[in-house]
Amino acid sequence: MATIQERFFALPTTAISDATGGHTNIDSSIKPLSDHFKVAGRAVTVRLPDGENGAVLEAISKAQKGDILVIDAKGNKNRAVAGDFVISLAKGLGVQGFVVDGVIRDIAAIRKLDYPVFSLGTTVAAGHKHGGGVVGVPISVGGVTVHPGDFIIGDIDGVVVVQQEEAEQIAEAAEAKLTKDEAREKEALANGEESIRAYLAKVLAK
C-alpha cells in the first residue's frame, strides 16, 4: 500500500490543482531551477526577516528526511536565502527540496548537486545573518498559506499545497481526475483524425 507521500509523488501537479480547485497553487513566478525536478513531501516552514537567511540553518536542523523547506522571504530578490553550501547541508541530511518566495545563489554549483529548488530566481548577494526568523509557523508563500506539515508537491508546472487534513481526499480526487483524463486522451487519439473528430463532435453536442 503506497503512502500518501508516494501517491502525491506519482501525481502531476496539474491533477492535484484540478482536485483542489486551484486555490492553493503557489504563484507561478516561483519556478523550478531545472525542468526535471519533482518533489512531494511535508513542509517545514520558515519565515525570514527581510534580507536575512540565518533561520534557514535552524529549519534544516529540525527537518525530517523527505521534508521540504518552504521559505517565506517576502519576495526579496536582492539577498539569497541559500547558496550551494546551505543546499549541500540540506541535501546531506535528506531534506528533499526548497520552495522559496525569494532567491538563491551559486546556481552552477546547485545545478551540479541536482537538488530541487523552486524560487523566484537568483542573485549574487548572500542573506544577512543578524538573526531573527521563525521556524515551524504558518507562513505565506506565493500568495498561499502554508502550515507546518502540509504537503508540498512541485514539478515543472509549478507548486501546489495540500493541507494535511485534506490530503487523503485530495489524493483520491486527483487520482480519479488523472484516470479520467487518460481515458479521454485514449478515446480521442485512438484512431487519428476519425477518433479526434468523433471526440470533438461528442463534446460539442453537449
Ligand X SMILES: O=C([O-])CC(=O)C(=O)O
**Residue 101 or 155 having the CB closest to ligand X:** 101
**Residue pair 46/71 in contact by the 8 Å Cβ criterion:** yes
Measured between alpha carbons, how far is residue 149 from residues 10, 121, 201 in Å?
A: 19, 25, 46
Stretch that binds ligand X, among 21-29, 81-89, 95-103, 166-174 (CB under 6 A): 81-89
Q: How many CB atoms lie within 10 A of CB 199?
A: 16
Give the CA-trace dihedral at 90, 92, 97, 99, to 10 degrees: 10
Binding test (CB under 6 A) with ligand X, winner from 19, 71, 80, 162:
80
By rule CB under 5 A, what count of residues binds Mg ion?
3
Residue 46 partner contact from ligand X, Mg ion, none using kind-dependent CB cut-offs of 5 to 8 Å? none
Residue 183, Cβ density class (10 Å: 0-12 exposed, 13-18 middle, ≥19 buried): exposed
7 labeled part of a ligand binding site: no
Helix axes 192-204, 167-188, angle to 10 degrees: 120
Q: How far is the CB of 11 from ligand X (least distance, A)?
A: 31
Q: Which helix (H) or strand (E) holds 198?
A: helix 192-204
Residue 116 partner contact from Mg ion, ligand X, none using kind-dependent CB cut-offs of 5 to 8 Å? none
Binding mask 106-145 for ligand X (x = CB under 6 A): x-------------------xx------------------
Q: Does 87 bind Mg ion (CB under 5 A)?
A: no
Q: Which residues pair with 126 in a beta bridge?
A: 80
Chain positions 49 to 68 lying near ligand X, rule: CB under 6 A, are: 53
98 labeled part of a ligand binding site: no
Q: What is the contact surface with ligand X in residues (CB under 6 A)?
A: 53, 80, 82-86, 105-106, 126-127
